[in-house]
Chain A
Amino acid sequence: MWYALFAAGAGVLNGLRPSLSGINAYVMSGKKQAIRGWTRTQTRLGRKAAGPVVVFGILSSLVGVAQAWCIAVVLGHSLISLHSSTVPAALPLWPIGAFLVLAIVRTCFLAGVDIGAANAGIEARKRLRAEVLSSVLTGGPALLRQEHSGVLATTVVDRVEALDGFFGRWIPASITWIAAPVLVLIPVCFVQPRAGLVLGLCGLAVPVGQALFGIGAAVASRNQFLAMTRLQARFLDRVKGIATIVLAGRTEDETHRLAEAADELRLRTMKVLRVAFLSSASIDAAMVVALIVVAIMDSHAALSLQEQNSAPLLEHILTSSLFVLLVIPEFFSPLRALALAYQDRAHAQGAATAVIDLPVAEEHRTVSEQDLFPDRSISITLDQVCFTWDPARGQALDHISIKVPAGETVILTGTSGSGKSTLMELLLKFISPDSGQILLNDIPLETIPADALSHIFSWIGQKPILFAGTLRDNILFAHPDADEEALMAAVKAAAVDQFLPSLSEGLDTRIGEGGFGLSGGQAQRIAIARAYLKNAPVLLLDEPTAHLDPETEKSVFESLQRLALNKTVILATHSAATHMFNGHRIGLQDGKIVQKQGSA
């Protein structure tokens, strides 16, 4: 498209970029390049949608110039009537008519700019949010070890929201800021070359100012977003544990800490704004200088003509000077738009840092678990598996070798922290072993795609997440297409039916986040019902009966026994009731196998 020519304008600005990002010394150059690459890709993707905004924006500037001319003609003509020697000529009406028509045209153009910018922002955010989400899903549970869920959510929601301006304002502004003023300058030079020179010089000062302030803007904006993210994560964490805070009588302390976080956000925000305001003040200053210089210069010129008593010449200089005065705001408004959009570009860089930290979204492989495991009988082999969460804390699993034949049960015992849950997470591919290999039948775990794997394992974790909603929704989460019969079977097997009568609406009772409205044991049974409903060939049970009283525990174990029939089971537990399970026992301690019973 023709406006691609103006991309040259953006190129000039891009030229400033190396020096701008030079201050981010703490960012390694590799990362810096990744950020730059990401921003560049986004700019390229955003240009197409920015097209209408640029076209309408430039057209609207041109119409503005024409309008200024109409006004100047009317004013000039009426002023000249004051000039003593002239006979007032009939005032032409065409400028007034043209002004009206142009005003209507310009209104349409302006609306076009607004709507185009909004659309560009919306389309881009839709695309980006989908991208970020699939990256988060690819990263999976391992991400939760690195970041608070609040921080991840901020990336998906707020970071992407903040990019609206990048696509709606910055990208168009990076083209129009040079194109529009140049187009405005042409008629000005034509009418009054001197004023054109003044305007051009004042205009040239603007990018210099912008480059100076822009350096600060990028850093300030990044810090501001960091403060924002911190405040959000802190608040989310505190709100989730608000009962703990209130009951410990620590409300005032926590309020005080939140106040500090909120105040830091204010300071950071003000830093961003100070730079932004300075940069727009610099444009204001350039504009005021232009205005005053033109007014003074032209009034001197006009005065000398006035003495010469030459009416037509005087009218011309009056008209052209008024035109220039009226056109000055028009000349500066694209520059002002660029200054306003400067922090949008900083937002994009901030978003880039957050986004490139996320793993690259995987492509969906279409290997189903039926192709991999046609008879649904699966043996699990761990061969010399090592895993370390944190090098300073030593290995969580140290050369673990276990073989679980298809259809058999292995019971993992050991104190809390001995590596049982780590082993489960390895099998679920939440994390990958540092060395060694895990095989399902003879297929290496890492070659099995995540969605196929989810059909193989049923998992009951230590802290099952219950979502706000009905009990039914929470159980059906495991298998949304399950029929009522299957659902009821799962409910019965998990002993959920034992407490349903005490709930007013049975399975349709609503619970709050984290299982509010249920006791710990009841929540656990909902999680067990999920595992039943899913009915996968391998069961991974991580202390499934924690929080249960001995009687309920017994009934749950009984039904787990039924579920475990012909399935491969790994059960981690402290419970004395595990004697109910026949299986190989493996004792873990500090990530090592210390005891083996049976032939595991």
Chain B
Amino acid sequence: MPEIDQISPASTNQSGPSRITDRQAIFRILRLWQRQAPRLAIGLMLALLALCAGLLLMQVSGLRLAGVVLGEIIITTALLRWVGIGRVLLRYSERLFAHDAMFRALADLRVWFFHSLAQGAASGLGFRRAGDMLSRLVSDIGTLDGLYLRILVPFMCATLTLPILLVQLCSQNLMLGCLTGLLFACSAFLFPYLIARSGRQEAEQLTRSLSALRISVLDLVGGLREVRAFGAEPQMLARVEADDAALLGGQKQLARRAALANATAYLCGQIAILFVLLAISGVGFSKVAPLSGVGILFLTVAAFESAGALTRAGVQAGAMGAAARRVVEIAQGTPAVSTTGQEVDAPTDTHIGITGVKFRWASDRPYVFDGLNLDIPAGARVAILGPSGVGKSSLAALLLKAATPESGSITLGGIDISHIRATSLRRQIAWLSQATHLFDDTIRSNLLLGKPDATEDDLWRALEDAAIAGVVRNLPEGLDTWLGEGGVNLSGGQGRRIALARTLLTDAPIMILDEPTTGLDAQTEQDFLRTLNTVTAGRTIILIAHRLTGVEKLDQVWRLSHGQAAAVPLS
């Protein structure tokens, strides 16, 4: 859905980067549902028809009975039967259709959410919590079904019911009609609105509590090894319990509000019935004809039942607003990819030039690079050395546009990379980082991430080159071995080599290998580096390392220190 992804600059800028209102968020969500609009509309139509059938049914069965007083059958048995059948069928198909449409829209929304999240996540989640993202994807988007099912549909039903109620009642007794109409409007529109507004804060708190619970549970579960080894069970448990208590406490309050809302809605309906009864008896109102009295009584009973749904929705509306905002925030929060004019595809020339680059991760951190100059010709094999934390990974991030320099320029084939489309740039550069993730999937799928159309031979060759083919061959399920979370089913060093094989598998003409030999023993390390000398002929290799072993064939070695690169003479 590429057209959806373009956030109109106006809507993002005018509200400021930090906060958007619930209403903006909800409208944004509704716009995202356009693709499902026809289905949603049909669902709504069915709901309205089902409502009419429902109102009619109560009224005609009352009238049928009352009519006998006059000694005649006003309502025929056939009519009664058709209305009854219609009511059951319409109600069933309405619910089925509306829910299906809604869940299609939610699935779209989840996909959009992940896509938006990925837009700004070239350097990882950063300070965002995976558990919080999960909570947004699952619970918050899940809550949004209410936007249509619990608010929009009942609202339209109520808007249809109100004039029906008004016309029928006013034609009998103006005052009765007005009073009942007023009650209905209160119950269906005013009270839900008030409840929603007053509960906004609590609702937001509740969505946050659920997210906090998810985060602390994930911390506990994901960190089970540390928790056990450090005997941290009590402190982790205490945190989860505190978050749980906050969530349950919030839910308790919400339940009270819901009970109050329900009671109010119910009482409104009862008062309306009371008015009708008074009018029928001619007390306080001018007397209504008995027969139509019966009709409007049954109509009132049915009408207020549908209004009650809206009162209940009012309780959840706050949560929906909060959820909508949390979902949309992610899209807004992604840094607007600097769309400086026309972006071009990466050139075929892979000469890398870095001149005068200044860079730091945050304004309160010291400069990682301060006037960095590097020149890496196409096809060169270079090493960049330096102690840990000197900025070797930052260099890779800059080259991949996962981070932007404050000043200076980085060029690829003579074109400033800020003008090169990120996806195209990244196709040219393969990066094995220290944080490369192994997915909870088979070895094969993990490798295919590097090159989706790789053949079986390609896969094995990459595994050979990464010095892991023997291990994989000995696995009973070979390439189809499930790696487990973070590669848990292999040892650390083996997992690392699977990631290396994935990087070697790519066709990218430039390879940045950040400590590719971590986890290898000295002999295997040397073997690997010798292999690297041969398999990557013609490609640019940027080897990031703490030290050299002496077997690497290199054209140039740089040492990073104090934010600059100094050439090291080749021995």
Contacts and interface: CB of A to CB of B under 8 A. Distances in A.
Given A241-B437, A513-B128, A576-B522, 9 more contacts: A79-B294, A153-B217, A157-B217, A243-B433, A248-B430, A295-B65, A415-B493, A467-B223, A512-B129
B571 interface: no
B494 A512 contact: no
B553 to A, nearest CB: 22
A415 B522 CA distance: 9
A243 B550 CA distance: 32
Interface in A517-575: 517-522, 530, 534, 543, 546-552, 574
Contact of B389 (A263, A291, A514, A521): A521
B210 to A, nearest CB: 8
B121 interface: yes
Contact of A514 (B251, B260, B435, B440): B435
A264 B312 CA distance: 30
Interface stretch (B17-25, B237-245, B370-378, B405-413): B237-245
Interface string A274-306: 100110010011001101100110110011001
B493 A416 contact: yes
A300 to B, nearest CB: 8
Given A246-B122, A281-B88, A480-B235, A91 B282 contact: yes
B180 interface: no
B80 interface: yes
8 contacts: A78-B293, A242-B125, A248-B449, A259-B107, A292-B81, A303-B68, A522-B388, A543-B492
B191 to A, nearest CB: 14
Nearest to A504: B364
A431 to B, nearest CB: 11
A71 B119 CA distance: 63
B175 interface: no
Contacts of B273: 71, 99, 103
Interface string B119-149: 1011111111111011001100000000000
A35 to B, nearest CB: 23
Interface stretch (A143-151, A181-189, A403-411): A143-151
A291 B103 CA distance: 34
Which 4 residue pairs are nearest across A and B when measured between Cβ atoms? A416-B493, A241-B437, A521-B388, A454-B231
Given A239-B117, A248-B426, A504-B364, A111 B260 contact: yes
Interface in B67-100: 67-71, 73, 77, 80-81, 84-85, 87-88, 91-92, 95-96, 99-100
Contact of A78 (B85, B110, B225, B290): B290
Interface string B14-57: 00000000000000000000000000000000000000000001
Contacts of A37: none
A93 B107 contact: no
Contacts of A520: 388, 393, 434-435, 515
Contacts of A549: 386-388, 546-547
A135 B118 CA distance: 35
Interface stretch (A196-204, A340-348, A372-380, A455-463): A455-463
Contact of B128 (A110, A453, A512): A512
Given A247-B426, A520-B434, A292 B80 contact: yes
Given A244-B437, A248-B426, A461 B107 contact: no
Contacts, number: 467
Nearest to B441: A237
Nearest to B253: A118
A375 B368 CA distance: 49
B519 A543 contact: yes
Interface stretch (B193-201, B262-270, B533-541): B262-270
A228 B267 CA distance: 39
Interface in B477-493: 477, 484-486, 488-493
B476 interface: yes
Nearest to A315: B69
A417 B490 contact: yes
Contact of B95 (A277, A302, A314, A421): A277
Contacts of A243: 121-124, 402, 433, 435, 437
A285 B90 CA distance: 12
A82 B127 contact: no
Interface stretch (A124-132, A171-179, A486-494): A124-132
A487 B137 CA distance: 39
Contact of B114 (A75, A79, A140, A238): A238
A66 interface: no
Contacts of A269: 99, 103
Contacts of B496: 416
Given A288-B84, A516-B127, A574 B122 contact: no
A11 interface: no
Contacts of A302: 65, 68-69
A502 interface: yes
Contacts of A117: 255
Given A111-B263, A153-B131, A239-B133, A99 B255 contact: no
B450 interface: yes
B566 interface: no
B256 to A, nearest CB: 6
B400 A247 contact: yes
A513 B492 CA distance: 20
With most chain A CB atoms within 10 A of its CB, the pick from B91, B111, B393 is B111
Contacts of B551: none
A82 B204 CA distance: 57
B483 to A, nearest CB: 10
A143 B224 contact: yes
B134 A235 contact: yes
Contact of B229 (A74, A288, A428): A428
B171 interface: no
B333 interface: no
A235 B114 contact: yes
B220 interface: yes
Given A149-B222, A235-B114, A255-B111, A133 B240 contact: yes
Contact of A153 (B64, B88, B221): B221
Contacts of A336: none
A337 interface: no
Interface in B272-325: 273-274, 277-278, 280-283, 290-291, 293-294, 297, 301
B84 A289 contact: yes
B358 interface: no
Contact of A459 (B68, B118, B229, B494): B229
Nearest to A122: B248
A219 interface: no
Interface stretch (A14-22, A24-32, A317-325): A317-325
A451 B231 contact: yes
Contact of A292 (B84, B213, B524): B84
Contact of A465 (B84, B99, B226, B233): B226
A321 B281 CA distance: 19
